[in-house]
A and B are shown apart, each in its own frame.
Chain A
Amino acid sequence: MTSIENMKTSTVPEGGALEAPRRTLFQENWNQFKRNRLAMSGLVIFVIFFIIAAAGLLLTSGTDPIFDPALVRLQEKLRPPLSAPNFETLKPEEVPRFGIYLFGTDDLGRDVFSRMLQGAWVSLTVGFVAVGIAVVIGVMLGGIAGYYGNKRILNLISVDGLIVGLIDIMLCFPSFFLILTVVALLPASIYNIMIVIGLTSWMGAARFVRAEFLSLREQDFVTAARALGLSDLWIIFRHMVPNAMAPVLVSATIGIAGAILTEAALSFLGFGVPPPHATWGNILSNGKDFLFDAPWLTFIPGFAVLIVVLAFNLFGEGLRDVLNPKLRERH
């Protein structure tokens, strides 16, 4: 397949020698990616999830949200999915939207559908912010180590040595144990959890970027840029970072999946995102106490987490395949 298309592209240009190839790198990659059905379905779910999360943010926030995730109706607790509320015991403002509990209610009579909607956004935020922190730190430190590696501080140790040392130190900590220690000892808050996950998972990105920078630094276009007198910052951000981002992007995608799972695991131990924020992780871990009485409280968030995390992973895997030229199919 590829070879035929490649032939086409090479035969088409006739207009002039200076015309750029019709297919950009992006298009090339995109075509490659499209053919990976698993990755594509991952991407589709990823996009749907993103839309749901954004919708969740809109529909569940504000003083009078359309779906109120915090409304407690004790007399309506543990209703199965798709059951109709008992209108007699509810005040008009307490009746759920559409007059039905789509996903049932939890042990306090809160509407699980609303909570899932709200949780989608919170879970996504936890994942993105945590990974965002990790990527920023990773790229910065990796970049500095790769680019300024030979500089020395106080004639004692090279910048590269310092950063590699820091990476080594961080790798010595068992990450979940470290996260747990910090989360357990610090006041519970959603910010702490995001920051801690971020601070304990930047090492991979830093290593990728450092390795990439070390090789890029010696390449002609960088030497040329330097010869032109361009500033270091310009060279780094305009020329080098984009070239080094591919593996970081892949690990970030998979990292978000990991962060969502980490949050769920912390919730299981009682150290997850504290209320009033609902996350899929804490809905799931609260629900498991009622496994025999209200299985939907476990299965709905359980499968939701499973599907979304799977989508992220498959999407990440697809990206990796596409972005890693060594693994391109050649026949």
Chain B
Amino acid sequence: MRRILTWVPILFILFLVQSYFWVPTYEEQTRGNPERLTEYIEASIGDAQILNPILSADSASSTIESRVFEGLIDRDEDLKFRGRLATHWEIFEEAYFYVNDEAWIPNFGKADSKAIIQLLRDAIQGRESRDGPVSQSLANIEDIEALPARSFEVSKEERGTGGATVSLTVRVTAPPRIRLHLREVDQELFDHLSTVLGKEYFSSFDGKRFIEVSPEALSSKKAKYAREFLPATEHNPVIVFHLRPNVKFHDGHVFDAEDVRFTYEAIMNPKNLSPRISDYEPVKAVEILDPLTIRIVYKRLYSPALGTWAMGILPAHLLNAEVLREEGERRGMDPEKFSLRQSQFSRRPIGCGPFRFREWKTDQYILLDRFEDYWEGPPNYERYTFRIVPDLLTQEMEFYAGTVDSYGVQPHQVERLGRDPNYQNFTGLAFGYTYIAYNMRREPFTDRRVRQALGMAIDVDKIIRYVLYNQGERITGPFVKQTDFYNHAIETLPYDPEGALELLAEAGWKKGPDGWLEKDGERLRFTLITNQGNNIRQAILSIAQDSWRKIGIDVRTDVLEWAVFIQERVNKFDFDALILGWAMGIEPDLYQIWHSSQTRPNQLNFVAFQDQEADDLIIKIRQEYNHERQVRYAHRLHEIIAKEQPYTFLYVSKWTAILDRRIVIKEVDSEGEVSYSRIKPTKTGNYGFHFNKWIKLPEIPRFEMEG
């Protein structure tokens, strides 16, 4: 017995330990493994959730989706749109208005549709005599036609007085309507036309006259239905995409307009609960003109619309209603409830991107193979691997060992690795900024001077230098710094504690006997909060507290768990000041974060920023399709926000990436000549832009024009 108890464990342990001799070393795994050169391995701390571009909302999923799926368009090196599945596109507008036969047109009198068309034609002919902008608007009109009067009936449900739903019938007898074809989208068209047809022509149109509601009792709703069915004017921007012929999905099926329409319909299908539904809500109709031409009509002016078509296109033949119903039945689920969300497609997606899906082991890895029939030619790497390594420290060790090619490198590591000759590093500005927000519903933040002073008391450059290790840049406003929309003329807030004290003194806050700032015997005291799990924000929290304490402000701090932070504090406006960050899109649409209508609970303008001019500009930017004009409005908006200082804009962080120096760009020209070059980030800082041309070499290459 004693012998058993001694020998069994010893043998057991020996058996376990000898497994060491069978394990490949790192050397064998990397340098000793030729296949390793044809594979790109990216480490991630988290797994993807759902590999369907219309459903996913996490960054891991979108990383994979960007390789597997392809959109109609994307952005090129200068962040301009370029065609992918679409070769080219046109944007124009169809504008409508109802003939207002009661309106008095200056120098003319009342007019029917024929007369209106004649008036407009004459105006176009004689446009030279009018103001510049008006004449431009007129010149932009390509064609005018009259649509006859029509009538129709709609049944609606309304909540009655007692809370019960009442169904009613709305009878609409619409007057004739005029349709204008515009060469370009023109948000000021009707303003300009009113110089021709009279100031009141559009605003005096009374839709209620043409509506009957039965039962009569509910005729109070007339105005609402008039707005819905008979808007005096309507802008309908139109995008026509010309699709690329002979593009194949990974299963060989050829892509066409049907897939585009299907993708749109899948997003709008309420069963799928797509988080992108709000992007496509302005779409009025998607019409297939021929298999390679698709026409998208919008209900209203919405300039971010074009950008939404960068969304990955789904294969209709694999996901249409019949296929889904079959899958639901096969898997024993309620076919009525079975939707794209439950479909196995999201676990093994098929798109027409440069890489095709091979295997997904949850929380271990996702493997992609290159797609040999990719329309732009197959990528150089044969495989792309997304490897999940949840711990940053082990990610780092794996990176040194060479078993991953890229990982979430931390600023302090960049400093050290940047000196290593084996690695190349890239850096560029990210699309997001970090800020301190002040609750402008509360004292003392209602005073602009206080907000500005608080900003001036913090040495942001020091934060950037020491907390971010210079991996950040100052920012003065809410636009993406590398786009034209950002107004570079605005200067950053200086670090000036003395000046801050002066501003505070102007606002009535003076040093009391105990050294704290006071006003009317009340100490300047508030709480600064941020969320848990972000070390940098927590560092800023300590620094801000410390800097403010130095000028005599009594600041308390609190770090809250994310959900609590958002739902209990931010959404309910229960905070004085907070540190948070916004991730921005390239589109300059600031409606949700800065428009004064967005200040209710659960909306994003939680600081309650309100400014009439800013509101107007935000709407104008949203409706403007012309880039130069958009830039002009954005610069002015930026100026207003920078002046008001609702946030202390701290910095936009830089992303960094470290790669093995052996990874280079390989290009083959038309004569089959192979050339290698170093990976260079684009002007906007995207180093992975040419990813499909990357390859890893066995040795570090030497380039002639090094430096």
Contacts and interface: CB of A to CB of B under 8 A. Distances in A.
A290 B412 contact: yes
Contacts of B467: 74, 108
B564 A187 contact: yes
Contacts of A270: 532-533
A93 to B, nearest CB: 11
Interface string B535-548: 10011011100100
Nearest to B396: A292
Interface stretch (B221-229, B336-344, B555-563): B555-563
Contacts of B465: 74
Interface string B502-546: 000000000000000000000000000000110100110111001
A184 B532 CA distance: 10
A274 B538 CA distance: 10
B559 A188 contact: yes
A300 to B, nearest CB: 17
Contacts of A291: 393
A192 B410 CA distance: 31
Contact of A275 (B393, B546, B559): B559
Contact of B466 (A74, A187, A271): A74
B505 to A, nearest CB: 24
Given A74-B543, A270-B533, A187 B560 contact: yes
A108 B559 contact: no
Q: How large is the interface on A (under 10, 10 to 19, 20 to 34, 35 or more residues)?
A: 20 to 34
Contact of B542 (A108, A186, A286, A292): A108
A109 B463 CA distance: 12
B392 interface: yes
Nearest to A270: B533
B271 interface: no
Contacts of A188: 532, 559-561
Nearest to B467: A74
B419 interface: no
A276 B546 contact: no
A271 B466 CA distance: 25
Interface in A68-112: 70-72, 74-75, 77-78, 107-109
B462 interface: yes
A270 B393 CA distance: 15
Nearest to B565: A187
A75 B459 CA distance: 13
A287 to B, nearest CB: 11
A289 B392 contact: yes
B542 A72 contact: yes
Contacts of A28: none
B150 interface: no
Interface-centre pick from B558, B560, B561, B563 (highest chain A CB count, 10 A): B561
A286 B535 contact: yes
A293 interface: yes
A320 interface: no
B561 A187 contact: yes
Contacts of A292: 396, 413, 416
B609 to A, nearest CB: 27
Contact of B561 (A78, A184, A276): A184
Nearest to A294: B412
A70 B465 CA distance: 20
A276 B557 contact: yes
Interface in B379-426: 392-393, 396, 410, 412-413, 416
Nearest to B410: A289
A288 interface: yes
A292 B463 CA distance: 23
Interface string B567-602: 010000000000000000000000000000000000
Interface string A110-126: 00000000000000000
Nearest to B533: A270
Nearest to B560: A187
Contacts of B561: 184-188, 271
B320 to A, nearest CB: 41
A130 to B, nearest CB: 20
B412 A70 contact: no
Given A109-B466, A187-B561, A276-B557, A288 B393 contact: yes
Contacts of A274: 532, 558-559
A74 B466 CA distance: 6
A188 to B, nearest CB: 5
A74 B412 contact: no
Interface in B478-519: none
Given A187-B560, A270-B532, A288-B393, A72 B410 contact: no
A72 B543 contact: yes
A289 B539 CA distance: 15
Contacts of A288: 393
A71 B542 CA distance: 9
Nearest to A187: B564
A236 B568 CA distance: 45
Contacts of B564: 186-187
A225 B542 CA distance: 60
B534 to A, nearest CB: 10
A75 B469 CA distance: 11
A291 B564 CA distance: 31
Contacts of A289: 392-393, 410, 535
Contact of B412 (A71, A75, A271, A293): A293
Contacts of A107: 412, 539
A288 B412 CA distance: 13
Contacts of B568: 187
Given A107-B412, A108-B539, A188-B559, A72 B532 contact: no
Contacts of B559: 188, 274-275
A20 to B, nearest CB: 48
29 contacts: A71-B546, A72-B539, A72-B543, A74-B462, A107-B412, A108-B466, A108-B467, A108-B543, A184-B561, A186-B561, A186-B564, A187-B561, A187-B564, A188-B532, A270-B533, A274-B532, A274-B559, A275-B541, A275-B542, A275-B557, A275-B559, A276-B542, A288-B393, A289-B393, A290-B412, A291-B393, A292-B413, A293-B412, A293-B413
Question: Which 4 pairs of residues, A with B, have the shortest CB-CB distance?
Answer: A74-B466, A274-B559, A187-B564, A270-B533
Interface of A: 70-72, 74-75, 77-78, 107-109, 184-188, 270-271, 274-276, 286, 288-293
Given A271-B561, A275-B557, A292-B416, 13 more contacts: A71-B546, A72-B539, A72-B542, A72-B546, A74-B466, A75-B466, A77-B466, A78-B412, A108-B542, A186-B561, A188-B560, A276-B557, A292-B413
Interface of B: 392-393, 396, 410, 412-413, 416, 462-463, 465-467, 532-533, 535, 538-539, 541-543, 546, 557-561, 563-564, 568
